[in-house]
Amino acid sequence: RGVRRGLEPPRAPRVRLVVKILRILPEIHSNFVQYTPQQVRTLMRTIDREIVAAHVYSSDGKLLMARNTHPEAAVIYGDSWKIPGGAIEAGETKEQALVREVLEEIGIDITPFQVEAIDHVMTGTAEKTLSDTGEKVLAKMRFFTYKVVLDKPADQIVVTLDQREFTEYQWFELSELKFAKLNPPSIEMFGKLGYL
């Protein structure tokens, strides 16, 4: 009683729909392509970048490194300790880009000091979020590294960080580098220099 023949209770069509969906769900799932992180990276747009970076030493032999520990930071190798530097802009020489990047990122003007190229060009690849569009791209980078020795001990050098790039800095004794979380280019470079 209460249910007439030929009529279904009001919820029956919904139940039948859910049952149909559950039956075809495995088929739908198998039709979706599952990409590994490596495959996702190959599908991203690739950009080429030439990067300059500076090993900035104090007169007492300490190396300045910085990192960005903010979880939303869109910087390459953000939470790893790294040396200041960045991309060469159109029309700049490597040396001009180096002076600009060091001044922008750590607030130190290196123009009065001798800048010496470290004879080792490295390459690296990393995901980057473009600041102007928010697009995630795969950056293929060539690194040109330089050495600058300042004229003061570490505790007398004023460092002013660009908070978009770095949230903290530290002057490292070279013997401390093996205990720091470093980015891949730094590991390669410091290994070649015998620091690690």
Read off the pLDDT of residues 38-71 as tens digits, 9 standing for 90 and up: 555 556 788 888 989 999 999 999 999 999 877 6
Under the banding of pLDDT at 50, 70 and 90, the label for residue 73 is: low
Under the banding of pLDDT at 50, 70 and 90, the label for residue 164 is: confident
pLDDT at residue 83 greater than cutoff 80: yes
DSSP-assigned letters across all residues of 104-159: HHH----TTS-EEE-S--EEEEEEEE-TTT--EEEEEEEEEEEEEE-SS-GGG---
The model's pLDDT over 120-160, given as tens digits with 9 standing for 90+, comes to 777 878 787 777 788 888 888 888 999 999 999 999 999 99
* Measured distance CA(185)–CA(77) in Å, rounded: 10
Q: How far is CA 174 from CA 152, 165, 171, 182, in A?
A: 17, 23, 9, 13
pLDDT, position 117: 93
- pLDDT: which is higher, 30 or 117: 117
- pLDDT: which is higher, 165 or 75: 165
Of these ranges, 1-5, 78-82, 169-173, 185-189, the one predicted with the greatest mean pLDDT is 169-173
The letter for the amino acid at 61 is G
